Each structure stands twice: as C-alpha cells, then as structure tokens.
C-alpha cells in the first residue's frame, strides 16, 4: 500500500503531481479557487477535492475523506504574497491577510499529526515572526524540522527559482537534500522538441502573447538564444527602459537553449514581465512551453484558455519535479523506518 498524502493549498496540482511520481497516494486536496480546482480535477480525478476556504475545513472532513487510513504526509504551499520579494519585509507584507494562512497549515497538522510535513514558500517568509512561531510549535509537537532557501535548478528543474522549503518528521532527524547529483536541466531539454505553435495540435501550445507592429519589430531584432533588449540600438528602446537605474533588466529578453530559464511567474507569457521570449522564434513562450519549464507532463490539461488566467495558474504552481525529489527523500525515510515496517494495518485506531 502506498503512503497517503494530503495536499493543502493545492493550486492546479503541481505538488500533487510530483508526490504521485514519488510514489505517494494523494487522497485529498484543498483549494479555495473554483477554476483552479477544476484544473486539478482534470488531472487528478482519483483525488478528493475539497473546494473551499481552508479556514472552513475541519480536520474530520479530511480524515473522513481518507476513509480511516493513516495520513503519512501533509504538504502545502500556503499563499504568502506579502513576502513575494526576497528579503522585502515591509509593513505591507506583514499586513497581508494571506500571510495568516500559514497558521491554518499549522492547525491542520496539529489536528492530524502526520509522520511527515512538507511546506514550500517564498524566501522572505523565513524572517516572518509567525513562520518562526509555527516552527517552534511544530518542534513542541515532536517534529524534527529543517528549513532553508534552495534553488530548484539544483533539483532537476530547468528554471532559476529560489524557494523556502520546510520538511518535518516525527520519526527521525530530517535534512533537506542538498543539490541532487544530476546534470543541470536546460530549456533545450524540455521544449526544443516541440513543433512551431501553428503546426501543433495542442491547443495550449498555440497560446502566446500578441503585440503591436512596433513591438514585433523590436522583438525580431533581439539576438537569438539569450539575447537582451539592452543589445539593441538605443533608438529602439522603449521610453520606460531609457530611465536610469531602471530594474527588471530581463524584460524583453530571450531564453537560452542551454541554460535554465528565468523564474516562470504569473506573467510568463508577457515579455514585458521578464525574460519570456522564445530562444529563436519572435514570440513569447507558449502556455505549454511554460508548463513544461515548470516540469508538468506534456499531456497536463488546464481548465482555462484565457491567456492571463492561464499564465497565472502555471506561474503560481509548484514545479512537480521539485516536489518529486523531496517526496522521494521522504519516501526513503518512511520505508526504512520501523514504524512503516511494523505497520500491517494502515487504518487509524481512533
């Protein structure tokens, strides 16, 4: 029997996809957004979806959904948009009510007490007083805890993306794996094989940005395979890019075939939001290319086709390959543990 997992704040299913690849049986997912939960169900029909605010989810509802089976892992990515920029802990970050959701994550763990926990979030959260409080409380519940900021490019994901990861175990000391001993995966490894969007029968590979003739000309002049807008003659720079000390130097930049991509964000099909131009073609990356760079399977389906909503859904997702690596690490500990070896009846006693 496979270990049982619950995915809180599941989004469109990236974390669940990775855990399933690692061998977990993801029995329950919780997601407040109706449209996002539809995408989840398209790809994970066997998982029970609780489509409501986690504040209204009673732990008994989760236990009933797993039909009395022991829950081995609770995982999730509680939204904390107030800390989305690394190290940016301004007052507005503290005041963002979504940051309180980390307390709901803790509440469910306290009520169910799984053997393992996994949490992923933005790096800035590590300095948040309520995160530190949650860590202390988890330790008081008997969990061994490790958390650190890592770059997911070190774990088989073809993307530069720094995230705060927390792992916890009731069984033994636990340590977030260091860099996986694998060759760095690149943009070429994940999207080079795709046909041109016009030649594809994949509707999500046909979705990408469209531009005015002026912007199309600028894009066409940006050097192939990693070129930047800064390499253009200044007469072709947009007015907003001519100001001194302007940030976001990656905007209107091309991805490089043999490097990792920039972070896939909610603006991943808009080249004015980052380095999201195709390495060779004069367009942004498509929805399918963005999803592949997030390491979703090529047949992963989405419930929306509106460009902005689709990009947001993909950019907000947990890259499956990253959760698979963490999941395999937990799986190895679990299967080697005395608790797992001696458990012949996986039903709860209470």
Look-up: residue for tokens 């302007």?
A: 246
Q: Compute the distance between CA of residue 107 and CA of residue 9 in angstroms, rounded to an integer.
A: 14
Q: Which residues contact 322 (CB under 8 A, 6 or more apart)?
A: 18, 120, 152, 155, 156, 157, 163, 295
25 — phi, psi (to 5°)? -100, 100
Least Cα distance to 332 among 21, 1, 23, 5 occurs for 23
Please say if 80 is a catalytic residue. yes
- Other Cβ atoms closer than 10 A to 290: 28
Q: What is the DSSP string of 102-133?
A: HHHHHHHHHHH--SEEEEEE-GGGGG-HHHHH
- Strand 144-151 relative to strand 162-169, pairing: antiparallel
Instruction: Catalytic residue, from 12, 77, 80, 268: name it.
Output: 80
Supply the residues annotated as catalytic. Answer: 80
């Amino acid at each position: 029997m496979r270990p049982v997992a619950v995915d809180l704040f599941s989004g469109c299913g990236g974390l669940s996809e990775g855990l399933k690849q690692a061998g977990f049986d993801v029995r329950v997912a919780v997601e407040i957004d109706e449209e996002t939960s539809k995408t989840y169900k398209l790809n994970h029909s066997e998982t029970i979806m609780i489509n409501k605010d986690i504040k209204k989810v009673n732990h008994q509802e989760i236990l009933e959904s797993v039909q009395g089976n022991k829950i081995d892992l609770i995982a999730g990515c509680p939204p904390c948009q107030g800390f989305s920029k690394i190290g940016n802990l301004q007052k507005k970050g503290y005041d963002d009510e979504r940051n309180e959701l980390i307390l709901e994550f803790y509440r469910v763990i306290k009520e169910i007490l799984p053997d393992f926990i996994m949490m992923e979030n933005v790096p800035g959260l590590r300095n948040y007083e309520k995160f530190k409080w949650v860590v202390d409380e988890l330790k008081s519940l008997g969990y061994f805890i490790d958390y650190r900021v890592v770059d997911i490019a070190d774990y088989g994901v073809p993307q530069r993306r720094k995230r705060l990861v927390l792992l916890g175990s009731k069984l033994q000391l636990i340590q977030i794996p260091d860099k996986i001993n694998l060759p760095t995966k690149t943009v070429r490894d994940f999207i080079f094989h795709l046909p041109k969007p016009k030649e594809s029968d994949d509707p999500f590979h046909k979705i990408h940005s469209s531009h005015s003739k002026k912007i199309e000309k600028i894009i066409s002049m940006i050097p192939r395979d990693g070129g930047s807008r800064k390499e253009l003659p200044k007469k072709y720079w947009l007015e907003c890019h001519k100001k001194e000390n302007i940030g976001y130097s990656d905007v209107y930049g091309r991805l490089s075939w043999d490097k990792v991509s920039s972070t896939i964000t909610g603006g991943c099909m808009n080249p004015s939001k980052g380095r999201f131009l195709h390495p060779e073609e004069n367009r942004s990356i498509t929805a399918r290319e963005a999803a592949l760079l997030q390491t979703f399977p090529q047949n992963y389906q989405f419930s929306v086709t509106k460009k902005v909503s689709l990009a947001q859904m993909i950019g907000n997702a947990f890259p499956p390959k990253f959760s698979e690596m963490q999941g395999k690490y937990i799986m190895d500990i679990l299967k080697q543990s005395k608790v797992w070896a001696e458990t012949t009846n996986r039903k709860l006693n209470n």
